Structure 1
């Protein structure tokens, strides 16, 4: 089983035993407000998603486990489309503000480019969540600006979808410079 280990985290495919910890994250509307799984609102819907997606996508969907506690504190995944990996990630509220997403992201960029052989990695976020943009910059991604605007069906608020990208060529170039220092 693939595992990527960082200073504080273990990034690994999901196991059946992760069900309840991930369910707590995905069924929390505050955490999932702007994430692709925000419509998953019941235990039954989550279990179907967990079994049909998180357990089956062993090469592209990963649990984020805190080393110190062995607790699943979130997920990180690539949604491949035409050799572009579109990121989705979320963390439990208690894991917010600790730099975990950037730590995972930096490790997963290497995985995306070297193992999945992606040409580009993109990440999208709602302008109402500017911290996601800051994390994407920390991961070396380039700001593409707004790519879409829509009105939230939940509260009628206009949301701009912001995008960032990192190309394989830019990633390789940045890593050559870091190795040369």
Structure 2
């Protein structure tokens, strides 16, 4: 079961049915969804995705998905899940509401999920895939120590940056660049 995680300002907790409207609003905001997957989807698709979190993820304990809150207010979505972008790897995924941008919450959120991946899941590395024009997310990843591994050209033209944060094997802790 997806555990609750806490940072200085954020609480990451499993979604509950009452989160549907906030989830859909986040995914329908094109300022946010332009950077997610294949871009904006229909409202109907986003609602179906929300309910699949319960039936296809939580029910079978497939991977961890969180609602992200600051002072009890929904400010985003986060996941850590298996990926084949790096065979056998795990990928960090997050999205914050536009109102939450520019306050360091992305860095705080990404650090918390990476720490969870290393300390609880026992991962040796966490990966991120970011659209090349999404300079804000690339900067967040670089700030916490992710390194650019390769570019992955997409069929429709854009380039996705594949970035990786490795856990130092000697100490078992994450080195972060300030």
TM-score by length of 1: 0.81
Pairwise CA RMSD of aligned residues?
Answer: 2.4
Matches within 5 A, 1:20-39: 20-36=21-37, 38-39=39-40
Matches within 5 A, 1:74-93: 74-81=76-83, 83-93=88-98
Q: Structure 1 residues 173, 118: CA separation in 2 closer, same or farther (over 3 Å shift)?
A: closer
Q: Which structure: greater helix fraction?
A: 1
Unaligned runs of 5+ residues in structure 2 are none
Deviations 1:71-94, CA, capped at 9 Å, x for gaps: 111111112135411122111111
Unaligned runs of 5+ residues in structure 1 are 152-157
Runs of 4+ in 1 over 6 A off after TM superposition: none
Q: How many residues align?
A: 168
Q: Structure 1 residues 37, 89: CA separation in 2 closer, same or farther (over 3 Å shift)?
A: farther
- 1:150, distance to aligned residue in structure 2 (A): 4.1
CA distance in 2, matches of 1:130, 1:170: 29
Q: Does the aligned pair in 2 maintain the 1:83–1:118 contact within 8 Å?
A: no
- 1:147, distance to aligned residue in structure 2 (A): 2.3
TM-score by length of 2: 0.82
Q: Which residue of 1 aligns with 2:69?
A: 65
**Local SS of the residue matching 1:38:** coil
